Chains A and B, each alone.
Chain A
Amino acid sequence: ETGVTQTPRHLVMGMTNKKSLKCEQHLGHNAMYWYKQSAKKPLELMFVYNFKEQTENNSVPSRFSPECPNSSHLFLHLHTLQPEDSALYLCASSLGQAITGELFFGEGSRLTVL
């Protein structure tokens, strides 16, 4: 149990589907993150939320839509995805900013877009 739980662990969807990834943390952290992990590439930061407010959107296409209803939950809504969006999506949380603190990661949601 890492303290950060992601569901589903695996997801297969067609390009016209709408699906959502969920992330939940019970660590009392106030910052939450979405990262994309693709083979042979660095982890790509997608979104950052601090106290439920989005503070970073790293030029992510609009087919990815984040939602943070409270400091413990983070969603990534998916719509009209492309095959190149297939990747492992990692959620993380931290107490305060990441500059000196530790990020706690979930186990990831493996997404396959057909």
Chain B
Amino acid sequence: AQSVTQLDSQVPVFEEAPVELRCNYSSSVSVYLFWYVQYPNQGLQLLLKYLSGSTLVESINGFEAEFNKSQTSFHLRKPSVHISDTAEYFCAVSETGTSGYSTLTFGKGTMLLVSP
């Protein structure tokens, strides 16, 4: 089974500062990688995903993530954060189960706390 490691449970940062949320995965085969965001009292929403092609993927609200196969990483970055970015961020990897169907395996999540 694949696993996803998010090294930081919480990342405090000031508004307009840059941020990086780290994600490493374990897999010996081709993978598809995802970042989801969970705002307070809401469900998870897809932020961005890597399926193939360019290793740098971007979201509509300024986040980007880079797939690094040699380091098995998919770190999330934003050059300047806003208060509204305060949320929990989950890294996920696709996995094919015993039935042959695919599901997502999630990390523990990283809480991004943006203060003024």
Size of B's binding interface in residues, CB under 8 A: 27
Our pick among A4, A99, A107 for the contact of B102 (Cβ within 8 Å) is: A99
For A106, give its contact among B9, B43, B109 (CB under 8 Å): B43
Q: Among A13-21, A39-47, A73-81, which stretch is in contact with chain B? A: A39-47
Q: Are A2 and B43 in contact, CB atoms less than 8 angstroms apart?
A: yes
Nearest residue in B to A40 (C-beta to C-beta)?
A: B108
Number of residues of chain A lying within 8 A (CB) of chain B: 25
A55 to B99, CA, bound (A): 6
Which parts of A48-97 form the interface with B (CB within 8 Å)? 48, 50, 55-56, 90, 92, 97
Q: Is the CB of A97 within 8 A of B101?
A: yes
B103 within 8 A of A: yes
Q: Is B45 an interface residue (CB 8 A)?
A: yes
What 8 pairs across the A-B complex have the smallest Cβ distances?
A105-B43, A99-B102, A43-B106, A97-B102, A99-B94, A55-B99, A105-B44, A55-B101
